[in-house]
Amino acid sequence: MITLGIESTAHTLGIAILKDNRVLCNLRDMYVTEAGGIHPTEAALHHKAIKYSLLNRALDETSLRVEDIDIIAFSNAPGLAPCLLEGMNLARELNEKHKIPLVPVNHCIAHLEITKLVTKAKDPVLLYASGANTQIIAYEGKKYRIFGETLDTGIGNFLDKFARDLGFGFPGGPKIYELSLKSQNFIELPYVVKGMDVSFSGIYTNLKNKIGKYPKEDLAYSCQETVFAMLIETAERAMAHTDKKELALGGGVACNSRLQEMARIMCKERGAKCFIPENQYLVDNAAMIGYLGSRMYKKKKNYVIDINPSERTDDVEVFW
């Protein structure tokens, strides 16, 4: 079975083609800025402008035609509504012209499923750290339950906001990481963990007030050390609570080498396994949408073809 995956929840438009569980190509094009953050309408216009050229690239790379595609899976939740609409519109256009079945896919759950596929993790706790999402997820009772999450903003959006205040454009997380490598001078910051939940708004205000009073690289280093320690603490607590012996990382922020290092150290100390897929599967990508969509399609359910920007991970019944 050949599946076309479409990812468009936020800044990235992704197109992937899979044959059964094998990824044939996994292309992406990202909306970026030189200053300021992501603007949903502008990001959607970016997706609209490049969607057919990216699709044609994928078809050329795989030597396939649209007529060879058996199903189309698209990200319908959660995300920025204008961006989600562009992905769904592309799926619908192809469906209307070629009568290819459509499957709507939850972006957050797709991160977990592709991680299990490529790392061979069996039953992990997922530390999902991305722009808008920060969740500690594990499977219990036919759903992927959220055992902990951010109480305000996502870790990626927090890092991007701080980077903007330092004068960088979008995405800002990689710039914070590069700055952090120039310092090991730790400045104490608020550390906000509440059970298995975290909060970043107070830390952001504290950091913003310190700009100009401390070197940027010291603030970047201290920022990462603080907030990543918070994420690892809550992930470890979830592992203890669920008695699971595997930790997996997902989301664009999980590309950060320092967060990966801290996760590996924690797992080693617990005698647990740490699974980290390669970066192309950590960031927003269409391969994960296509893979989960193909699994869902095999169950032959009737799907509502629409977007759901606020759908939560634990709203979805895991039936596949």
Give the per-residue pLDDT at 170. Answer: 86
Of 226, 225, 206, 193, whose CA–CA distance to 162 is shortest? 206
Give the per-residue pLDDT at 32. Answer: 86
How many C-beta atoms lie closer than 10 Å to residue 212's C-beta? 9
Contact 218, 232 (CB under 8 A): no
Domains of the chain: 2-110+283-315 (3.30.420.40), 112-280 (3.30.420.40)
Which two three-digit tokens encode residue 72? 């189309």
Q: Per residue in 213-245, pLDDT tens?
A: 999 999 999 999 999 999 999 999 999 999 999
User: What whole-number distance in Å separates Cα of residue 56 and Cα of residue 65?
Assistant: 9
Give the per-residue pLDDT at 34. Answer: 74
Q: Quote the pTM value.
A: 0.94
User: What whole-number distance in Å separates Cα of residue 298 and Cα of residue 44?
Assistant: 31
Give the per-residue pLDDT at 14. Answer: 98
Segments in the chain below pLDDT 50: none
Which residue type, as a one-letter code, is found at position 222? Answer: S
How many C-beta atoms lie closer than 10 Å to residue 180's C-beta? 21
User: What whole-number distance in Å separates Cα of residue 175 and Cα of residue 163?
Assistant: 7
